[in-house]
Amino acid sequence: MEESVHNQLRIPKRNRPVASFDVTSLPNDNYEDSAVPSTTMSGAYSNDSDLKHISDEPIEESQGCFKAKATLNLENLPAELRTQLLLSMPDLPTLRALIHASPTIHAQYRYDRDNVLWTCLERELSGFFIDAYANLMSRMCELGSLRTDEKITNFLDTYRGWLSGASPLPDFQSIDSSHIHWMATYHISVACPLARMYSSWALENIKKTISSPVARNGTEALPIAQDSRGVSLSRSEEIRIFRALHRMRLLNIEDHEKLVSKMQRCLTHDQNLDAPVRTAIGLAAQSDRREMSTRFPDKRDEAEQRQDPIRFTGDTVPPNSPPLAWVLLWGGKYANIYGEYVPEPLRRWGYVIWDKIRWDGMDAKELIARQWEMEPELVEEIKIDLGWSPLKSQSATIEYE
């Protein structure tokens, strides 16, 4: 029987072997030297039943996630169609569900897992592959345990080149199989759970605000997205969150002290003022950069000084233009300030993550600009530091496409 099934699996495949992709066990703590991400990123998913990941272990019929009739239909597909079905999966969780739906599909995945995993992951990381790849290449096993200033500077220069398009990224299909496995494991066991947690937390904060009599002038609370298991994100929202998670990973891993230090120097003016990230994007650090950096003003500062107009052009995929909330916050004018210059409630809302359609559905767009009315001291701080007022910008007509 087994020999008969194996013969049915024989279809053209790549010559490059791929190691077993087995993430059924929880990640260990030796993050930098392991192919599996560390649970220290978050302990919240340790008991998550969703983490029955893609596995090379045999599965029983009872583990199928589809109805019995559908499973029988999958079992009867010819090998070529089974492979095409695997290749068509839109993301890793869906691929995992399909693999666990049928022993024959599972066997087909194991036989052609190189082709399937490369194809699915390339689709999964579309829109934030640069950040995911930089996350991968910033590990100790890639940069080396001795992280000299030269190594860190070269890495950051390369990362900037990837982001700007000045430096070509490696072809996805040329990436080593062990790197593909690491990115797949990190995405499904770390990034996805954190994205669910963050989106639930941020939307719940918005819900509390729009339910407040102060915010709504006594009106009833408005229903919005469900809890953490029910939040449905658009692709553009997902990409914004995953980009942010990978960039925070670069800034917050303990073993990356020198990398953190170098990246903070891009936000401050002097290596002697290196500080935690929250301090590095605070009011004092941004003010110091403007007053003391030899690189001030840069192009972004000049655009802010001219008050160049910005427009909301839609929530495209990938989202490479300003989100609606950013445009509304600054009254349709270019701003090169962030962090503590943004009203604290907005930061708790994850305001730059959400699409226009979500703001419309929550009927909460007017709350964005209204935050300045509740932050008179912050408005005054901006006037003193930069010479313009965000309240004045609110009087301008904001253009939409």
pLDDT by residue for the chain (401 residues), tens digit each? 444 444 444 444 443 433 344 432 323 333 343 433 333 333 333 333 332 344 444 444 444 444 455 556 878 889 999 999 999 999 998 999 999 988 999 999 999 888 899 999 999 999 999 999 999 998 888 888 777 778 888 888 899 899 998 989 888 888 988 999 999 999 999 999 999 999 999 999 999 988 866 554 533 333 333 444 457 999 999 999 999 999 888 876 644 454 445 444 444 445 444 456 677 678 888 988 898 888 899 999 999 999 999 999 999 999 999 999 999 999 999 999 999 999 999 999 999 999 999 999 998 998 998 999 999 999 999 999 999 999 876 654 555 55
Q: Please count the CA atoms within 13 angstroms of the CA of 311 that sit on its side-chain side.
A: 5
Query: Which residue, 361, 342, 363, 360, is CA-closest to 351?
Result: 342
Contact (CB, 8 A) for 273 and 285 = yes
pLDDT at 15: 39
**Residues 6+ away with beta carbon under 8 Å from 196:** 228, 229, 231
Q: Of 102, 124, 146, which residue is a domain's last?
A: 124
pLDDT at 211: 80
Kindly state the tokens that stand for 285: 């650090």
pLDDT at 145: 76
User: Is residue 215 situated within a structural domain?
Assistant: no
Q: Please count the CA atoms within 13 angstroms of the CA of 54 that sit on its side-chain side.
A: 29
pLDDT at 1: 47
Whether omega before 297 lies within 30 degrees of 0, making that bond cis, reads yes
pLDDT at 401: 56
User: Is residue 218 situated within a structural domain?
Assistant: no
Residue 400 pairs in a beta bridge with: 312
Contact (CB, 8 A) for 203 and 231 = yes
Kindly state the tokens that stand for 203: 């939307």
Task: Give CA–CA dist 201/196, Å, rounded.
Answer: 9
Please count the structural domains in the chain.
Answer: 2
Residues in the chain: 401
Written as one string, the DSSP assignment of 42-68 is: -STTTT-TT-----SS---GGG-SS-H
User: Is residue 98 situated within a structural domain?
Assistant: yes
Phi, psi of 309 (to 5 degrees): -75, 145
User: Is residue 325 situated within a structural domain?
Assistant: yes
Whether omega before 168 lies within 30 degrees of 0, making that bond cis, reads no
Query: Which residue, 118, 222, 221, is CA-closest to 171?
Result: 118
Task: Give CA–CA dist 2/4, Å, rounded.
Answer: 5
User: Is residue 35 situated within a structural domain?
Assistant: no
pLDDT at 384: 93
Range of the domain at 355: 297-401
* Residue 64: how many other CB atoms lie within 10 Å: 20
User: Is residue 190 situated within a structural domain?
Assistant: no
The end-to-end CA distance of the chain, in Å, is 61
Q: In the 8-state DSSP scheme, what is residue 387?
A: S
Q: Of 92, 124, 156, which residue is a domain's last?
A: 124
> What SS3 class is residue 18?
coil
User: Is residue 259 situated within a structural domain?
Assistant: no
Contact (CB, 8 A) for 319 and 377 = no
105-139 core/surface letters (b: 16 or more CB in 10 A; e: else): bbbbbbbbbbbbbbbbbeebbebbbbbbbbbbbbb
Contact (CB, 8 A) for 64 and 102 = yes
Query: Which residue, 177, 190, 181, 180, is CA-closest to 242?
Result: 190
Give kind and range of the element (H or E) at residue 259: helix 257-265
Residue 333 pairs in a beta bridge with: 309
Query: Which residue, 363, 368, 362, 364, is CA-closest to 390?
Result: 368
Contact (CB, 8 A) for 379 and 341 = no
User: Is residue 42 situated within a structural domain?
Assistant: no
Residue 312 pairs in a beta bridge with: 400
Give kind and range of the element (H or E) at residue 97: helix 92-99
Q: Of 70, 94, 124, which residue is a domain's last?
A: 124
